[in-house]
Structure 1
């Protein structure tokens, strides 16, 4: 357990330090956004480029890894929607936001430093494979479900006389086009693609370029964790906590448990450990971004981000202890 605490404690101390600095206003309020932009636009793309360009994946099948990971995402997403409808009486859009909050783990800001500290470079290689499809799949599925829910809510409002006129139809082509444009502007996508293409060349990643990428990569974890903490005061807990606590339980307990059950049949030990710990990461800020964009469930998603991040100090410690003892 002392080994696990030596892995987890610095992670949540950095998060707590960021929150304390923000609360005491020792740095300008814009610092959090600037740090987040640096992580998203520079540090993590550099890390993913370097990881994919030089990774050793062995002979394990990434399809089994992806199947195992999303075996946790799907039930958590579905149960999150049910929880919002049953516990909070939410509309369909808010229910989808609840599903996103229950399943969209913070693989960038928390998953990367946790995987690197707990499992070393080999663990980071495995996590890179998950990240390579996590964002596109989650963004596409979440957007399509939210567009469909928005249409259903609009039709329900029209039928009950709450709105005027007919509900606009959702254009699948327009929605997919918007998703494609969003992904095309995401620096992480270019880091992943660039690393994969460099890998195909067979060239070593050495010299000044390799050193610059290494130096940028080592900043990703610490700055990401500090940025998570610095952002927490921006997401005040609002309203009753019954739904956020239930959704947090899905994100931190049900999702990694499902990954463990399926992955134990398909994955080698290291891949299984990384997949489970990644699935046990707290809810990422993308849930709140979806909520604000679709103007639904903002308070719920913000509460889940805070509650899951705080609770993860305990639950993530337990999952790491379990997976490192197997």
Structure 2
């Protein structure tokens, strides 16, 4: 019973804040314009500042685990191959194939993943997760672009490679993570004024991010082929964490780092999957359904994952 309560204390606050966002939208206290601006604020300002602050003020060599990065990146590649292979085997149309594959491996590390890890493992876990995310975001973006471009390669509908290279190179989360990694690696001092300013400014990041997810959540977005969305959701929140756990053990990762790798692998599909599917002529309705379905069901999958991790002493 105590273990179950411990897990609820980790998972429930995150999804209650998401639920708060949904309630505020239903009551008309926030609207689509607010959510659009909030998402931009979190993505371009708050989250980059938070990542830079937490990573930059940490001991890089004490928190960086190359095996964790390698195993997690390999799990993403495995998720891409599994989902894209399944979609090709089932002869999904080009638009659905890319959206299905992307939704099956691209997780919401920044908003949900960091919040769950912080609740489960505190500041130390958050810092380790932030460093890991700095290396995984380029990997996720690369495979997401590949998943969406491959089915369209003969149609002439996809954007040029240069556009997507810029999207990766100029991603604010990547830039902030690598800036924080460089600051930490060089052991540069964090001036007191800067540290206190960042401490104040970054306190709003996770609450705003979770409220934005909740405000955007709507069962009405469950459209299109729900069977395909269900298969993608199953890969994302069930099979991918299992694959990640196996790879992490094979790479010799244990303890907190193993738990972080599994929790990151089990994140629901990122909202960006819908945006990218729409941009690259993919099946946006399918992408939106995968995001909604995986977000709703991840409350249960995270509870189960944390129960297994806690039972294993992690």
TM-score above 0.5 = yes
Deviation at 1:194, TM superposition (A): 2.3
Deviation at 1:71, TM superposition (A): 3.2
Taking the TM superposition and a 5 Å limit, the aligned residue runs for 1:117-136 are 117-136=119-138
After superposition, the C-alpha distances for 1:287-325 in whole angstroms (9 at most, x for unaligned) are 111210112211111001000000011001111222233
Instruction: Give the whole-Å Cα distance in 1 for the aligned partners of 2:189 and 2:64.
Output: 24
Higher mean displacement: 218-227 or 193-202: 193-202
| Distance 1:240-1:79 versus aligned 2 partners, 3 A rule | same
**Of 253, 265, 268, which residue of structure 2 is paired with 1:267?**
253
Taking the TM superposition and a 5 Å limit, the aligned residue runs for 1:40-119 are 40-58=43-61, 62-85=65-88, 89-119=91-121
Corresponding residue number in structure 1 for 2:184: 199
* Residue 187 in structure 1 maps to residue 189 in structure 2: no
Give yes or no for contact 1:62–1:129 (8 Å, CA) kept in 2: no
Taking the TM superposition and a 5 Å limit, the aligned residue runs for 1:136-151 are 136-151=138-153
Q: CA RMSD in A?
A: 2.2
* Residue 16 in structure 1 maps to residue 1 in structure 2: no
Higher mean displacement: 210-219 or 178-187: 178-187
Corresponding residue number in structure 2 for 1:233: 218
Corresponding residue number in structure 2 for 1:159: none
Give yes or no for contact 1:57–1:125 (8 Å, CA) kept in 2: no
Give yes or no for contact 1:244–1:304 (8 Å, CA) kept in 2: yes
Corresponding residue number in structure 2 for 1:287: 273
| Distance 1:324-1:205 versus aligned 2 partners, 3 A rule | farther
After superposition, the C-alpha distances for 1:176-230 in whole angstroms (9 at most, x for unaligned) are x222322344322332232123224423324121011112222211111111111
* Residue 256 in structure 1 maps to residue 241 in structure 2: yes
* Residue 38 in structure 1 maps to residue 23 in structure 2: no
| Distance 1:188-1:306 versus aligned 2 partners, 3 A rule | same
Instruction: Give the whole-Å Cα distance in 2 for the aligned partners of 1:24 and 1:244.
Output: 29
Question: Which consecutive residues of structure 2, in runs of 5 or more, have no partner in the other structure?
Answer: none
Aligned residue-pair number: 308
* Residue 320 in structure 1 maps to residue 306 in structure 2: yes
**Secondary structure of the residue that 1:30 maps to in structure 2?**
helix
Deviation at 1:85, TM superposition (A): 4.7
Deviation at 1:58, TM superposition (A): 5.0
**Secondary structure of the residue that 1:272 maps to in structure 2?**
helix
Normalising to structure 2: TM-score of the pair? 0.90
Deviation at 1:84, TM superposition (A): 3.8
Normalising to structure 1: TM-score of the pair? 0.87
Deviation at 1:3, TM superposition (A): 0.8
